[in-house]
Structure formats: structure tokens, C-alpha cells
Chains A and B, each alone.
Chain A
Amino acid sequence: MTIRWTATVMVAFIYAILFVKTDYVGTKGDPNYLPATMTLTVHQASTGYLHQLDAERLYIKVMTFKDATTSKATTPPYADALSNHFEIMQHLHPYLFDTYWATEAFLPWYGDDYVRRANTILQAGINYQPNRWEIPFFLGWNHFYYLGDSHTAYDYLIQSSKISGNNFMRHLAAVLAAKEGNLEAGLTWLRTMRNSEQDEKKRKYMSRDVDAYEKAIMVQKKVHQFRNEKGQSPKKLQELIPEYLDSLPEIKSNFEIVYEGGIVSLQRPNYRDIRPSSKRGNTSQPE
């Protein structure tokens, strides 16, 4: 009897020692590692009637993961896996609106390829959610803000305004269509995005951009004033100092003021690089 008890305790002790040696104890794992999910086919075949629940499970997994990530890289190591999760979620449950919202909140920040992957998911979503004005609005935003394609952005805004019946968006689309109105449009758009954003960090990030747009618009107005009074546009913005401006405004965001041919615009230092057909540079994602 004693031998049996001793042997049992010894085996239990060895089990405990081996358990401690494994990575179950003391390690938290890599918070930026998102394991790839199974293929869509496996998800569909294995879940059957529960495929909607499976998509919702993936959504919760992604949101929990995103809460814990620490990477501040422009394109984080989990970008591909995250995109893949969203694509599978969209296929499994195209009627779940949260998928599109989360897609828009995360993917476009990671670079051009991810903007396009987000756009593919959103475009598919329009077919299933024809009454949601937000999806064409997101597409319009992506085309305008990330891809610099105002023309396509205008089309999506019109589509969005038709669904929502919102005159504000119709106005925004009209402003956007005007060649020199991009600053105003961008400001209105940014404010809208900021006001609807629930994440405080992202709101803060967008507020910096709003500030940059406001300052650029102020400079544009001074340029117009200069032109009205002197009959020609200044060759450089420095010519506005000191008569029209004490100094050029300091922009505390990822933008810089660019002045060409009498038009003030805001561009990211690598803005030209983010146009379609080229890779984006080191623009940073929201903190």
C-alpha cells in the first residue's frame, strides 16, 4: 500500500515538474503573433449550420488579439493573418456588419496592399448590405485618403448619400469633385470619421490630422487674400510673411504643407508613394 502511494505521488510530482517546464507557465507568448486560421473550405465544411457563429467567433478572436498587440510597425507582422481572418469572416457571414467596421478600422493603415484587400471585402459587403450607407462611405474614404483617387471616392460618396439620404454627404461629394476643394473635403471627412470613432487613441490621432487640415486651409485663405490684393499668387509661402502670416503654421501630424501653382495642399512626406502602383513608405499607423 505504501509503495503504491509513494509511486503515485512520485508520478504526480514528475507530472508537475514537466508541466512547469512547458510553456504553459510563466510565458505570455508573443502578443503580435496571430496564428493563421484554417482555409475557408475547412471552415465551411466543418461548421455547417453554425457558420455564422464561426464567423462571430473569429471576430471575437481578432478583437481580443488586437487589444493585446503592441507592434507599432507600419505593416505589423500579423497584417496578413488579420486580413485573412477578415476575408474568411466576410465569406462565412456576409450579413454581419461588425466585420466591415473592423476591417475598415484596422486593415487600411497597414499599406496599399491592405487598403485593396479591405476594399475587396467592403465591395463584397455592398451586395449583402445594400441598406448600409457606411460601407460605400468607407470605400470612398479609402479611395480618397489612402489611394488618392478622388474620382472613385466621389462615386462611392454619391452611392452612400443615396442610401442614407444625407445631404451632408452629397455636399461632401460635390466639394470633393471640385478640383481645388480637396482640403475642405478632407477636413469634413476627417471630422466625420473622428466623431464616429469610438477608440480614444484613434480619435486623438485623427484630431491631429484635423488640426493640420485647418491650418492648411487657413494658409490657403491667406494665399487667396494675397492674390486678390496683389493680382498674382505668391511664388513661395514665405512671401506671406510677415504681412499675411507671422510664421508658417507648425503641423504636428504626418502631413506637411505643399505649395504648388497657387494651390496649398497637404501631403504626407511620402504621399506620392502611397498612390496606387507604388508601395507606401514609413507612414505610421495610429498609436
Chain B
Amino acid sequence: MHEKLQRITALAKIIFLDGLRRHALIGLILLALLAELFGLIFVDFFGHDLGRATSDFLFSTMWITGMIFLFFHAVQVIAWDEEHKVIFGIISRPISRNEYLLGVALGLISLLAVLQLVLGGIAYGSLIWLQANLSISYFDAFNSFGFVLTWLGLLLSQSVILSAILLFSGIVRGGFAVLILSVAYYFICSGLPVAREHIAHQVALGKGGEGAASIFTILTLLFPDLNRMDFKNEVLTQALTIPLSDVAIQSALAGAYIILTMLLACYAYGRRDIQ
């Protein structure tokens, strides 16, 4: 078990360092930092709720940067290894396909976490600076714990998407196919809660739709509601407005989903022809 973990972490380290060496990723980080600085200009469009507008903008920048990382780098990693025959070099070593997939997952999650840590640190500093320089009527409260919670929620949401990307990478061949499937998956995750809410409203009005409501609930098992981990409104509150038990349940749910998806990905990848 210890040796397995060593092999996984060694591969994760390679994936991590390889990601850091990519100029596109360095460019992405620089662009995101510039975008965060642009947040100070963005805030100029607002007249009152300056703290909230800035916080939303910063977290949106982090989200968009994370999604660019997932859709333009993460979807390519396994496909790139396969297309450049690197995969044969790797699995000719005493490492199983499962360990390979888990190593890639760990490496990519580490990259994503570091990326978000840098952007989150800048965002935190920006908000602290802004609060110190604005009157209380423009920026009345900043909750550091709420900020950390929001950051963790963002990272967890994107880890869910990453696990789905690795599942698709394990099932199909080629970066483009994985990209198409991943984008479709993301849009279903975004759209499903809206459809579910609409049907729930119909059911509440007695207009039927109970069957569709059940189908949508089952679909939510496969396509989780990522908005449940959006805690942006907690950044600017005196005290948290959502119970911590809810946060714990949502986080545990997301964690279990990631583990299940990775197990499925390992199962699929272990049986796939990689020629």
C-alpha cells in the first residue's frame, strides 16, 4: 500500500511539475492576476455595494480561470500521454493503470489548488485592502471564515468537474472528445437545478410533473448541483447565514461523488484498449 502511494505521488509530482513548466498555464495565471487587478476598475461602475461587487468579481475570476485550466489543460493530459506514446513508457514501469489515473488526478488537483491558492491569496488581500480604504456604507462586513469557506466550495466544485473529466478521459480517446463531453457535463450540471426548480414549482401548484421531478432528482445524483457549494454571499456577512451542518453535508456529498467517479474512472480505464 505504501509503495502504491509512493508511485501515485511520484506521478502526481511529474504531472504537477509538467503543468508548472507549461507556458500556457503561466500565462493563464498572469492573465488571471491582471483580471483580479481589473476588479478595482470594475468596482467603479457601482455606487453602493462596492465590497460585494468586488468579492463577486474576484471569485468569478477564480472560477473562470479554474474552468480554463480544466477545459484547456486537464482534458488534454491523458490524451497527450496517449498521443505521444508517453503512456507506454509510464505503464511499462511497475505502475498500474489505476495508479496512473489516480496519480494524474492528484497532480491535477494539486495544480488546481495551487492556482486557486495564488488567486485566492491575491483576492483576500484585495478585499482586506479595499475594506480598509472604503467607508463602512460601501463595505460593511468582511468574514474571513466565509471567504475560506467560499474558496473551499469553489475548489470542491471544480474538483467534481475534474473527476468527471478524468472519467471521460478514462472512457474515450482523444482530448477533443473529452472536452466536448466535459463541456456538456458542465452545462447539464448548471441547467439541471433550474429545470428541477421549475418542475418543483409546477408540482407545488398541483399542475403535475411528479414523474419528471423524480427523474430530475435521480439525474442530480449523476450531475450534481454545483451551486450548492457556492458560498459567495457568506464573504460579506457579519456571521455565517448558512448552518455549518449544511456546509458539511454538501462537502461530504461532493467528496463521496469525487471518490465514486474516480473509482468508476479507474474501472473504465483499466478495461480500455489504449492502443
Contact = CB atoms under 8 A, between A and B. Distances in A.
Contacts of B52: 95-97
A53 B49 contact: no
Determine the main DSSP class of B at the interface with A.
Answer: helix
A211 B21 CA distance: 70
B69 interface: no
Nearest to B67: A49
B49 to A, nearest CB: 4
A191 B272 CA distance: 75
B57 A48 contact: no
Contacts of B226: 48-49
Contacts of B45: 56, 59-60, 63
Interface string B43-56: 00111110011001
A168 to B, nearest CB: 17
Contacts of B232: 52
A46 B48 contact: no
B185 interface: no
Interface residues of A, number: 22
Interface string B172-197: 00000000000000110111011100
Given A59-B45, A96-B53, A46 B190 contact: yes
A95 B233 contact: yes
A48 B227 contact: yes
Contacts of A59: 45-46
A101 B138 CA distance: 13
A50 interface: yes
Given A49-B226, A52-B56, A53-B60, A41 B49 contact: no
B157 interface: yes
A44 interface: yes
A62 to B, nearest CB: 11
B48 A45 contact: no
B31 interface: no
Name the 7 nearest CB pairs between A and B, nearest first.
A48-B190, A45-B191, A53-B60, A97-B49, A52-B56, A45-B194, A44-B194
Given A45-B190, A60-B45, 15 more contacts: A44-B193, A45-B194, A46-B190, A47-B190, A48-B226, A49-B63, A49-B154, A52-B60, A56-B56, A63-B45, A95-B233, A96-B52, A97-B52, A98-B46, A198-B47
Interface of B: 42, 45-49, 52-53, 56-57, 60, 63-64, 154, 157, 186-187, 189-191, 193-195, 198, 226-227, 230, 232-233, 236
15 contacts: A41-B198, A45-B187, A46-B190, A48-B226, A49-B60, A49-B157, A51-B227, A52-B232, A56-B42, A63-B45, A95-B233, A97-B48, A98-B47, A101-B47, A101-B48
